[in-house]
């Protein structure tokens, strides 16, 4: 089944303890992205990647890192989590070469709910 | 980035058509109009997208105004499973970024 898989789905951690949220897609998509969703703010893009080894900041990149060493994986790293990073996180991917620019269809993962105490 | 405006919430009766409006008065000529929906406890799900002409797929129809400053997502026969938050989004040419707003929460009344 074509899908985007995120792990963990739920995590409670403490301030300052480094953590990684993994994202993997099995659709050979070039484009991958991370979003966070907070009440009243909708989904905001954190980082995105156009292809392997190509990443760029989204709207709210502070406090996050990403890497894209392989096409299928796009982990989100919180080096020193803080309570304001408590949120619901979504990874998404799309096939850039299948549609004209701007017409890409995103496939989202099921989400990872992170709580930082 | 061009913004969209949607009502915060709407209600509709089951098995009736639903028309979800979206205003995007600052849309540029190369911006695509996308609709996604988010069911409770799930990630957003693609519904439909278009550029200038009306579009139909198995999930819904997208009606785009002639001046492209507004569009309407049409669910032809709403079911309880269509209860979700619906997002109208404009894409940016050359960047696959989609900026989500707060969407319209659709409630289906049995």
- C-alpha–C-alpha distance, residues B56 and B50, integer Å: 9
Contact B87 A101 (CB under 8 A): no
pLDDT band at A97 (very low <50, low <70, confident <90, very high): low
* CA atoms of A107 and A104, how far apart (whole Å): 10
Please report residues of A whose CB lies closer than 8 A to that of B45: 108
How many inter-chain contacts (A to B, CB under 8 Å) are there?
A: 65
Nearest to B42 among A58, A106, A110 (CB): A110
* pLDDT recorded at residue B1: 60
> pLDDT at position A95, please?
87
pLDDT tens-digit map of A5-35: 999 999 999 999 999 999 999 999 999 999 9
Closest chain A C-alpha to B97 CA, distance in angstroms:
8
Contact B44 A108 (CB under 8 A): yes
Per run of 10 residues, the mean pLDDT along chain B (length 110 residues) is: 87 96 90 92 93 92 95 96 94 74 93
Which candidate from B43, B94, B103 shows the least CB-CB separation from A90?
Answer: B43
Positions of E strands within chain B: 9-13, 18-23, 33-38, 45-50, 55-56, 61-64, 70-75, 84-92, 95-98, 104-109
Rounded Cα gap, residues A53 and B2, in angstroms: 29
pLDDT at A109: 97
The burial class, CB within 10 Å (0-12 / 13-18 / 19+), for A56 is middle
Neighbours of A40 (CB within 10 A): 5
Q: What is the mean pLDDT of chain A?
A: 93
Burial state string for B50-64 with b = 16 or more CB within 10 A and e = fewer than 16 = bbeeebeeeebbbbb
Give pLDDT tens digits for A33-47: 999 999 888 889 999
H helix and E strand count, chain B = 0, 10
Interface of A to B at Cβ within 8 Å reads 4, 31, 33, 35, 40-45, 48, 50, 58-59, 90, 92, 94, 96, 101-111
**Distance in Å, alpha carbon of A109 to nearest chain B alpha carbon:** 6
Determine the pLDDT at residue B3.
Answer: 85
d(CA A78, CA A117): 14
Percent of chain B with pLDDT over 90: 75
The separation between CA A18 and the C-alpha centre of its own chain, rounded to angstroms, equals 16
Three-state SS at A84: helix
pLDDT in tens, A52-75: 999 999 989 999 999 999 999 999
CA atoms within 13 A on the CB side of A110: 9
């Amino acid at each position: 089944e074509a899908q985007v898989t995120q792990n963990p789905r739920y995590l409670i951690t403490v301030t300052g303890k480094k953590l990684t949220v993994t994202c993997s897609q099995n659709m050979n998509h070039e484009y991958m992205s991370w979003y966070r969703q907070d009440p009243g703010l909708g989904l905001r893009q954190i980082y995105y990647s156009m292809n392997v080894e190509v990443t760029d900041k989204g709207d709210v990149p502070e406090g996050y890192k990403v890497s894209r060493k392989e096409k299928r994986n796009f982990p989100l790293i919180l080096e020193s989590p803080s309570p304001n990073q408590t949120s619901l996180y979504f990874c998404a991917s799309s096939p850039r070469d299948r549609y004209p620019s701007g017409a890409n269809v995103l496939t989202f993962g099921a989400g990872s709910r992170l709580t930082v105490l | 980035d061009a913004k969209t405006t949607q009502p915060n919430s709407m209600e509709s009766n089951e098995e009736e058509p639903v028309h979800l409006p979206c205003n995007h008065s600052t849309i540029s000529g190369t911006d695509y109009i996308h609709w996604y929906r988010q069911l409770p406890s799930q990630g957003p799900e693609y519904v439909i997208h278009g550029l200038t002409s009306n579009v139909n797929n198995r999930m819904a129809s997208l009606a785009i105004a002639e001046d492209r400053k507004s569009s309407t997502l049409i669910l032809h026969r709403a079911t309880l499973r269509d209860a979700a938050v619906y997002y109208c989004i404009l894409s940016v040419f050359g960047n696959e970024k989609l900026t989500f707003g707060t969407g319209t929460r659709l409630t289906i009344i049995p």
